[in-house]
Amino acid sequence: MPHATQGLSNTEISSEGRAVLAIADFVCFIDEMDSSCDSVGIDVPESLLSRQKEEPIMSNDTRIAVDVAKAVFELAISDRPGHVSRRERLSRAQFLAFMAQQPAATVVMEACGSAHHWAREIQKLGHRVVLLPPHHVRPYIRRNKTDRSDAKGILEASRNDDIRPVPVKTVDQQILTSLHRLRSGWMLERTARLNALRGLLRELGVFIPVGSRQVVPAAWLLIEDADSKLPEALRPIFAEACREIREIEDRVKQVERQLEAISEQLPAVEHLRTIPGIGLLSSTALVGFIGNIHRFPTGRHFASYLGLTPREYSSGLTRHLGRISKRGDGYLRTLLIHGARSLLVHARKQQPDRLREWANNLAKTHVHNKAAVAVANKLARIVWAVWKHERPFALMAKAA
């Protein structure tokens, strides 16, 4: 490699110069301490130089950590790592007005209640919003838990690149998630009312066959039968309980009708429903809670995000894979496992394609629940592929 001192004799080069030349022979990149981009006399790969020129330098590295609450917001403003330059404690009415006066910065919050709403409003003001998982922020809070320490912990956690942020949900996504949350709550309430009614009738010597559909018709027969064992004092109360259960079921059906109407406007839902074991509830829940499937590089990452992959506990040459991690959203995981159980039931009757054939063979060698989780993992990977490539699922015929 030619140097700027080429042509000089060894006697004309000092010992310091020879040391510099020896160092220059091993330099293949510009040191970060050198602000110059001059590559004369230094062998610098062009890819590194072009990358260094293309990447813009952030003019404002200010980060604003916000501890969101119902009425009072605690803010910690930092202009460099490990230092809080300013603190503010604002009411809900003052919060947006204060953020509108701040220059464009990175605003960091926990992904908690109302955080997505505030994130959308802050983005409209020109700020960049980062939502962090609350359970990843907790280790950064030292000593006592207060609003000030929470804001400082959020600030420190935001500088850890290993913590993946939570995408900000759109209003359309939150419509879907709200419908699912209401339906899930009403289903739990319906189950509690059915169990209470069945248990009270059992105390009176009336035993109802297993099945949620059996309870209300059997209770109505007892209430309308004047010769039944049901005491007169309980007849109007039990009748009201039966009507309450029917009302809850009507609400659930109304939610499902609303989900069906919304799904007609979402191509992703239409594609996902072509997958065996994925129906209206699973497809709309996935679109609502996941949002952007492209943030997962592979189907394996998506299945791991849903907690359908084994929990690993390894050290040295010993590798141990345990039960599924159960990380991520438990509601989505439940829907996929229910869909896998449905797929296994149908696969037991017939195997018209390779997916059901594989599921049926798996069920023969594993217990039902383990096979259901394995099929749910497979469904999660299929969901990722169908959703990302934006085309319906094509069933492949069995091998001859």
Rounded to an integer, the average pLDDT of 1-22 is: 45
Whole-angstrom distance, CA of residue 4 vs CA of residue 2: 7
Whether residue 84 contacts residue 107, with contact meaning beta carbons closer than 8 Å, is answered with no
Rounded to an integer, the average pLDDT of 153-172 is: 93
Grade residue 82 by pLDDT with cuts at 50, 70 and 90.
confident
What is the value of pTM for the model shown?
0.80
Whole-angstrom distance, CA of residue 129 vs CA of residue 106: 6
**pLDDT score of 351:** 86
Nearest residue to 306 (alpha-carbon basis) of 327, 322, 287: 327
Whether residue 312 contacts residue 321, with contact meaning beta carbons closer than 8 Å, is answered with yes
Grade residue 353 by pLDDT with cuts at 50, 70 and 90.
confident
Nearest residue to 268 (alpha-carbon basis) of 287, 294, 292, 281: 287
Grade residue 400 by pLDDT with cuts at 50, 70 and 90.
low
Rounded to an integer, the average pLDDT of 345-374 is: 93
